[in-house]
Structure 1
Amino acid sequence: MMDLDWASMVGFVGTACIIGAYAYLTYEDNPNPFILHGTNLTGAALLTVSLVVHTNWPSLVLEGFWAAIAIWGLAKALRGRRKNG
């Protein structure tokens, strides 16, 4: 069995964040967008760290889009909070 280095472990934590966010979205009838998109952004950032060390260009591009969508979702939630605030 191959030992996992720190970058792979960081990547696994990122994967857990993204899977957890998707499970949260599926489980909750009215999910908190800050939890959902914040967890997705954290996961994308952690996976990006792993992918910079162990470069996989298609996955790195995917994480860039994943992070951008999460940032968009957070911005949308902030605008909604200010509008209703």
Structure 2
Amino acid sequence: MIDGLDIYSIVGFGGMACIIGAYFYLTASEKPNPFILHGTNLAGAALLTVSLVVHTNLPSLVLEGFWAAIAIWGLAKAVRERRAQKVGRL
């Protein structure tokens, strides 16, 4: 194992990959699926939070809290919009 690279750092790198992947998906997609976008961001924030709880960096931990909250808000908005579309089709 690389010095300083423990399981929590590896989990953090996974979270980083999720967030970067979601940003790439948003940028590359003509019409991104909000469930994929916000779900991937939420997973990334959660994984990075696991890492940050062990390797504490308070500003980054607060950032991940906001990142997760925005992702949850985006998912809730997508659910509401999907329900409204289904009601409109009936």
TM range (shorter): over 0.9
Equivalence for 2:47: 46
Structure 1 segments of 4 or more deviating over 2 A? none
Equivalent pairs, count: 85
Say whether 1:17 aligns with 2:21.
no
CA distance in 1, matches of 2:4, 2:66: 30
**Runs of 5+ consecutive residues of structure 2 not aligned to the other structure:** none
The two structures have a TM-score, normalised by structure 1, of 0.98
The two structures have a TM-score, normalised by structure 2, of 0.92
Amino acid in the other structure paired with 1:44: A
Say whether 1:57 aligns with 2:64.
no
- What per-residue deviation string (whole Å, max 9, x for no partner) do you get for residues 9-58 of structure 1? 00000000000000000000100000000000000000000000000000
Q: What's the CA shift for 1:2? A: 1.8
**Runs of 5+ consecutive residues of structure 1 not aligned to the other structure:** none
Q: What's the CA shift for 1:3? A: 4.4
Instruction: Give 3-state SS (helix, strand or coil) of 2:32's partner.
Output: coil
Say whether 1:71 aligns with 2:72.
yes
Say whether 1:32 aligns with 2:37.
no
Equivalence for 1:2: 3
Equivalence for 1:84: 85
